[in-house]
A and B are shown apart, each in its own frame.
Chain A
Amino acid sequence: MTPISEMVGANRAVQGNGIVHPVGDASASPAQERALRRRLIERALDALRTPVAAPTLFK
């Protein structure tokens, strides 16, 4: 729910894959799901490495 995270001022955000499994995907195969989770966490690491001046959504 990144519009909310931006409103409350969270400086670094990554859009998750849905409310019920932010870093998962119940409709994908285990391998695809693991790959998705890896991509999202790597995006989070990118965010941690990046200077930001204001709430930023990392895509």
Chain B
Amino acid sequence: MSETPVRVVLYLNQFFGQVGGEEAAGIGPRLVAEPVGPGRALVPLLGADGALVGTVVCGDNYFAEQPEQAAAEILALVRQAAPTLFLAGPAFDAGRYGQACGALCQAVTRELGIPAVTGMHEENPGVELYHRDGYVVRTGASAREMAAALGAMLRLGRKLLAGEPLGRPETEGYFPRGQVVLEMAEHTAARRAVDMLLAKLAGAPFQSEIRLPKFPTTPAPPPVPDLSRAVVALVTDGGLVPKGNPDQVEPRAATKFGVYPIGAADTLDAAQYDVTHSGYDNTSVRQDPNRLVPVDVARELEREGRIGRLHDHFISTTGVGTPLDRGRQLGRDIAAHLKGAGVEAVILTST
């Protein structure tokens, strides 16, 4: 346990720093010696073994419009006050403020090597951006809870400073950072699982040990008004690539997709293709790539006028072991590429 009094610098925006409202959102950073706004609530929480050695106040727009410049200026001011702990906000649900707080905590820890803690409401965009690298205490949406939020931030900050091991995020009050920590359990997994199931069947609350990812819904696009006039593209995650895999699409955890010409061909020729995807037996597909990317049938449908045109390239990537956010990004990039090429509908074949 540390005996040295903690030296805190607090970051506030123009509103909490009591300079003004939106009309003052463009003010540049300044270091204030006397406690102001939430700083006044922080002082009694610090008690005898801490001091608020400075408060940096900056306008939300000043930061948002030039974040690197503003961060550099703010770091210089923070350095002057020589803190051992940096607290920012709490920002509650104020988006620009939350992003500034998150970015500054990250910069302070990186450049000054001291712990940094902020606090936000779960819907603050700053949470999504900064909860993994920094420590973002969970707060409500309203500044009525200022004292509780500051208290939680300071408690966490002191623990970080003292190098004390942290309990679970829910206990310490911050958003989980996605880190896996080993714990000894009193009962075996079988027992814990049965207990959860019994609770679930009884309609009682239970805490899953594994957090399932949430999949946001995508509103379904309206149907293609007239397929006989539409440009349709073939996309696959089965990793079909030209022989030699010229773009080096990875066998798993793909970081890219390839765009490969079909031209006027009415089939895919097995001799020209390989499969890079390492997650399924690719014998069948290598014998006949149309079993994965159905150019033969698509061309037939085009000739019959069932579709307007088969797009002259197919897109291919590898869909195994792909981190979810990478998968989403690949999807967005493929969609943007195809939209730019005038494609109106896609048939995506998946292994």
Residues of A within 8 A of B (CB): 1, 5, 7-9, 11-12, 16, 19-26, 33-34, 37-38, 40-42, 44-45, 48-54
With A38-B297, A44-B347 as given contacts, are A20 and B285 in contact (CB-CB < 8 Å)? yes
Q: Which of B4-12, B181-189, B288-296 contacts A (4 or more CB under 8 A)?
A: B288-296
With A51-B222, A52-B220 as given contacts, are A45 and B292 in contact (CB-CB < 8 Å)? no
Once bound together, how far apart are the Cα atoms of A26 and B350, in whole Å? Answer: 17
Contact residues in A for B280 (Cβ distance below 8 Å): 19-20
Q: Nearest chain-B residue to A12 (Cβ)? A: B220
Q: Are B223 and A51 in contact (CB under 8 A)?
A: yes
Name B239-273 residues within 8 Å CB distance of A: none
Further contacts, 20 of them, CB under 8 A, given A12-B220, A23-B294, A37-B297: A9-B215, A21-B285, A22-B350, A24-B284, A24-B285, A24-B290, A25-B291, A26-B291, A37-B291, A37-B296, A40-B294, A41-B298, A41-B347, A42-B306, A48-B227, A48-B345, A49-B223, A49-B227, A52-B220, A53-B220
Query: Contact partner of B306 among A40, A45, A51, CB < 8 A?
Result: A45
Contact residues in A for B290 (Cβ distance below 8 Å): 23-24, 37
Once bound together, how far apart are the Cα atoms of A23 and B294, in whole Å? Answer: 7
Once bound together, how far apart are the Cα atoms of A34 and B227, in whole Å? Answer: 21
Once bound together, how far apart are the Cα atoms of A40 and B347, in whole Å? Answer: 11
Name B284-320 residues within 8 Å CB distance of A: 284-285, 287-288, 290-292, 294, 296-298, 300-301, 306-307
Q: Nearest chain-A residue to B298 (Cβ)? A: A41
Q: Report A39 CB to chain B, min CB distance, Å.
A: 9
Q: Is the C-beta of B84 less than 8 angstroms from some C-beta in chain A?
A: no
